[in-house]
Structure 1
Amino acid sequence: MLTSMEKPQTQSSPIVIESPIADPGPLGLAAFAVTTFILSLNNAKITAPELAQLFVPLALFYGGLTQLLAGMWEFKKNNTFGATAFSTYGAFWLALGALKVMENLKIVTYGSSGKTGVGVFLIAFAIFTLYMWVATFRINWALFTVFTLLEIAFVLLILADLGFITSEAGGYVGLATAAGAWYVSAAGVLNPLYKRILLPLGPRN
């Protein structure tokens, strides 16, 4: 009797070879880092106010579309955390960029409630970031650090948009968040390429 592992092959039974795909994680992290970096420069008041619009095309195409695509490929790799994180933050940047475009075109107007509206928008993503931060407890120290900084940045920017503090503190924490995301992205590119740990991530599990 044939077991399930000993099925005879016939011409009508095609051999399916699953082709591996590259890790989309470093791309998604780089897209997140660059867009966060540019916006945080403005929040920290390091760049001139008129350069604030630089983040809009990045939010739409790199932080937004590219990160969303990375999230879709994480589904292919059966990585629920990566798929959920990249898809959500990609959509976050797309929504934020679209919001700016619609404001500039006068399609939507918020009047004196504009800053409060952005604060409410950020609250929703701070809640999402909180439970994704908990998930990083089981991944590695580097990603845990990135999500810790991101949650702090969200809280500080929410307070700024609600009028309790200025945006500088959130901007500087955002810059640290971008640096952490770049580090994890670089590790994902360099460690496999050199076949050794050039940039340690510090596994936690």
Structure 2
Amino acid sequence: MVTAVAAGITTCLIFFIVTKWTNPGFLPTVLSYSMAMGGIGQLIAGILELIRGATFAGTTFASYGCFWLGRFLWLLLEVNRSVPAVADVALTGDTLWCCLWGFLTFCYFIIALRKNMGLVVIFATLWIAFFLLAGGNYNPRCRVAAGYMGFINGLACIYVYNKKTKRKLLAHF
């Protein structure tokens, strides 16, 4: 369940920038964390869950681990401007990428309806955030709305950790 906290913190960090709560200079910190905890950590957790026989948890953790590794690479290329072609197709590519991840997350949401309410909230807020991010490439207000939805998603991940472990990670939970 530590993976839920890793996912929550990684999501909150990236959406601090999207909501403009922090300076874009914070991006290297977010990139580092998204690669380590969001990417590698969730990928390993997904593999371990699959070995344990937990297909849904394993698939989702591994998928989002790969998502964070891909996002890390995408943002790294964007920040370094090391590949000129990336700048030309970035807007359309990012929009399509967010839409595809939104669709996949919506599929996970449908499956989560048979699991528990915590997972339903996590996947509902995440698929909405992905589609808002896609729209945010063309509308700044949509991007800020995506940031808030993503932040709520990150908090939901941390809350699920609290509920599963019966620990108080945050006050008032």
Normalising by structure 1, report the TM-score.
Answer: 0.76
Instruction: State the partner residue of 2:121.
Output: 145
1:103 counterpart letter in structure 2: E
Which of 85, 98, 114 does residue 60 from structure 2 map onto? Answer: 85
Quote the Cα distance in structure 2 between the aligned partners of 1:75 and 1:149: 25
1:104 and 2:63 matched: no
Assess, with a 3 A threshold, how the Cα gap between structure 1 residues 46 and 105 changes in structure 2: closer, same or farther: closer
Which of 104, 109, 126 does residue 102 from structure 2 map onto? Answer: 126
1:184 and 2:157 matched: no
1:29 and 2:29 matched: no
Which of 142, 145, 148 does residue 172 from structure 1 map onto? Answer: 148
SS of the residue corresponding to residue 138 of structure 1 reads coil
1:59 counterpart letter in structure 2: S
1:134 counterpart letter in structure 2: I
Which of 89, 95, 113 does residue 89 from structure 2 map onto? Answer: 113
SS of the residue corresponding to residue 20 of structure 2 reads coil
Which of 159, 172, 189 does residue 135 from structure 2 map onto? Answer: 159
Measure how far apart 1:185 and its partner are: 1.4
Measure how far apart 1:73 and its partner are: 1.0
* Bigger radius of gyration: 1
Instruction: State the partner residue of 1:65.
Output: 40
1:74 and 2:44 matched: no
Bigger proportion of residues as helix: 2
2:133 counterpart letter in structure 1: L
1:55 and 2:30 matched: yes
Quote the Cα distance in structure 2 between the aligned partners of 1:43 and 1:104: 15
More relative contact order, 1 or 2 (CA 8 Å, 6+ apart)? 2
Measure how far apart 1:32 and its partner are: 0.8
Quote the Cα distance in structure 2 between the aligned partners of 1:50 and 1:105: 13
Assess, with a 3 A threshold, how the Cα gap between structure 1 residues 42 and 104 changes in structure 2: closer, same or farther: closer
- Identity between Structure 1 and Structure 2 (%): 26
- The RMSD of aligned alpha carbons is 1.6
1:135 and 2:101 matched: no
Quote the Cα distance in structure 2 between the aligned partners of 1:140 and 1:175: 20
1:139 counterpart letter in structure 2: K
Quote the Cα distance in structure 1 between the aligned partners of 2:79 and 2:154: 27
CA contact (8 A) 2:81 2:87 kept: no
Quote the Cα distance in structure 2 between the aligned partners of 1:183 and 1:82: 17
Quote the Cα distance in structure 2 between the aligned partners of 1:104 and 1:39: 14
Structure 1: give runs of 5+ residues left out of the alignment: 1-25, 192-198, 200-205
Measure how far apart 1:165 and its partner are: 4.2
